[in-house]
């Protein structure tokens, strides 16, 4: 049985004191690949250090997170283009629109999202979408690029069954993390209804640790807790959930190496 954590910010300062142990615990928990979404130009160096230290375990993405879209977003987008010209990345991410924290730069977020979608299409890479209180805005932009041209995942999905079906119909995967273990999250009926075929697993560590570690620092070793909850909801074995979600991640991000 093998798992993939398709979304972990393991390069952040929260792991500076025990990063090696965190990777070891992940591997001991059968989490064999750790996919690293980028935040902005400041995080690229730390991320690539991890990739170099843990080849065939850590894999990098490149992108500008929507909450990092500020006045300098044009410079940040240029940095994305410069990095993609000289390094290999598995995805453009994480990108998207976030209307939860701050709407000041909404128009800039939209420009940045479109620009990075165009990079993804030009490079034949999937996108990892951050969608917080912005599903309609993101759906409208994706629809501009035509059906089937873009592939990727809606990271940290918390939407409705209707929204999940829309995501799947567009050919996207749904990223499920620790939130599925929260009793008040509302994901139970969504997961039960759609099943595992369009799911990939993620932690978003250090954030959103699953029960029984809710409120603590999250890490990739907790992926089995997420898989177990999905297994309960879908009445499918944990082994089978591991197989399906791992194959989904390998196919989406072209991880065979």
Dihedral sign (CA 119, 248, 34, 183)? positive
**Helix 73-86 and helix 106-123: axis angle, to 10°?**
10
Q: Which CATH superfamily is domain 3-253 in?
A: Metal-dependent hydrolases (3.20.20.140)
Residue 155's nearest CA partner among 250, 36, 55 is 36
pLDDT at res. 120: 98
Can you read off the two tokens belonging to residue 158?
Answer: 């918390």
- For the segment 26-85, what is each residue's pLDDT rounded down to a tens digit? 999 999 999 999 999 999 999 999 999 999 999 999 999 999 999 999 999 999 999 999
Dihedral sign (CA 178, 20, 88, 224)? negative
50, 10 in Cβ contact below 8 A? Answer: yes
256 pLDDT higher than 80: no
pLDDT at res. 257: 64
Taking residues 115-134, report their average pLDDT: 96
Please report the DSSP string for 83-106 in residue order.
HHHHS--S-EEEEEEE-SS--TTH
Percentage of the residues of the chain whose pLDDT score is greater than 90 = 93
Query: How far, in whole angstroms, is CA 107 from its chain's centroid?
Result: 23
């Amino acid at each position: 049985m093998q798992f993939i954590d398709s979304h972990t910010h393991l390069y952040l300062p929260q792991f500076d004191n025990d990063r090696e142990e965190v990777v070891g615990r992940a591997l001991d928990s059968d989490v064999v690949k750790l996919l690293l979404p980028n935040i902005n130009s400041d995080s690229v160096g730390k991320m690539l250090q991890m990739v170099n230290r843990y080849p065939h375990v850590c894999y990098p993405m490149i992108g500008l997170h929507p909450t990092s879209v500020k006045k300098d977003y044009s410079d940040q987008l240029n940095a994305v283009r410069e990095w993609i010209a000289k390094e290999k990345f598995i995805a453009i991410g994480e990108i998207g629109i976030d209307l939860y924290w701050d709407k000041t730069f909404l128009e800039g977020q939209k420009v940045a999202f479109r620009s990075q979608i165009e990079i993804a299409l030009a490079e034949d890479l999937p996108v990892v979408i951050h969608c917080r209180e912005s599903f309609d805005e993101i759906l409208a932009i994706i629809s501009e690029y035509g059906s089937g041209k873009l592939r990727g995942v809606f990271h940290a999905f918390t939407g409705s069954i209707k929204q999940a079906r829309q995501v799947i119909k567009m050919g996207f995967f749904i990223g499920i993390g620790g939130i599925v273990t929260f009793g008040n999250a509302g994901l139970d009926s969504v997961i039960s209804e759609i099943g595992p075929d369009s799911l990939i697993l993620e932690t978003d560590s250090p954030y959103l640790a699953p029960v029984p570690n809710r409120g603590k620092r999250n890490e990739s070793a907790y992926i089995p807790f997420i898989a177990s909850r999905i297994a309960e909801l879908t009445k499918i074995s944990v082994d089978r959930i591991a197989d399906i979600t791992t194959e989904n991640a390998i196919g989406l991000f072209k991880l065979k190496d």
